[in-house]
Amino acid sequence: IAISRAAVLNQLEGVERTLASVGAQITAELLYGNRVLDRLLALHEDSLRNVAQQRLKQGAFFLKKAKTPDDYREAGEIFQRGVDEDPTILEGQYGLGVAAEGMGNIAEAKKRFRNVVRLADEGKKDLVIASWLNLAKLEEATGNFPNAVEADEAALHHDPLNSDLKFKLARLLATSGLAERAEEMLLALIDENFDVLYQLKSELGFTRDFLIRVYKKVLASKGRNKGG
């Protein structure tokens, strides 16, 4: 995509204004309002037997309505019954992990998500990716950055061309202190799709100094491509 130097310069000028109120702390997704809950209803439901389908539907219904730890406990009890009946139905393990997260039981949530990634076959790639991303989020929120990076890398391994997963990993690398790897990934993404450059401004995980370095490298690269 052709882009003028003026457009990149305009982005540079907006960095300071856009990030004026952004701190250096890591911002994790809220436990309540987990964005992966809607996906649960669609994950291979048709391949499950009737009882398992009902457990999944009921548990997902309570998860989507949950606002308090008690609400998540209700959902967890439904998923727990399903897991007790058949622990190989990994959608139930996943739902139990989300419910445990909502209750603040991080160890239990990690256990359930790890059960999914350990036991799932290739036909459940979407469920595996969702579980790895949840693990990455939980590890990051508790300051275990190497484990978080490992989980994000595992998610990307299952869908290596997914630009959203690449962007997530780049943000995590940057917040983990691995700025050079993060810059390399972002520059490659920007080269593929220049809209990624605009996406950077709305992501709180990148510091001002990091963004300025990336923007300057993009500007320099565009200048060289245009013959200076």
- Model confidence pLDDT, tens digit, residues 143-197: 899 999 999 999 999 999 999 999 999 999 988 889 899 999 999 998 888 888 8
∠ CA 127-128-130, rounded to 5°: 65
| Residue 38 CB contacts under 8 Å (≥ 6 apart), including other chains | 64
35 closest CA partner among 164, 206, 156, 124: 164
pLDDT tens for each residue of 18-62: 333 322 222 334 343 455 556 665 555 555 566 777 888 888 888
Report how far Cα 73 is from the mean position of its chain's Cα atoms.
24
11, 81 in Cβ contact below 8 A? no
**Does the reported pTM lie above 0.85?**
no
Distance CA 101, CA 192 (A): 36
Q: DSSP secondary-structure letter at 181?
A: H
Could you tell me the two tokens for 57? 């539907």
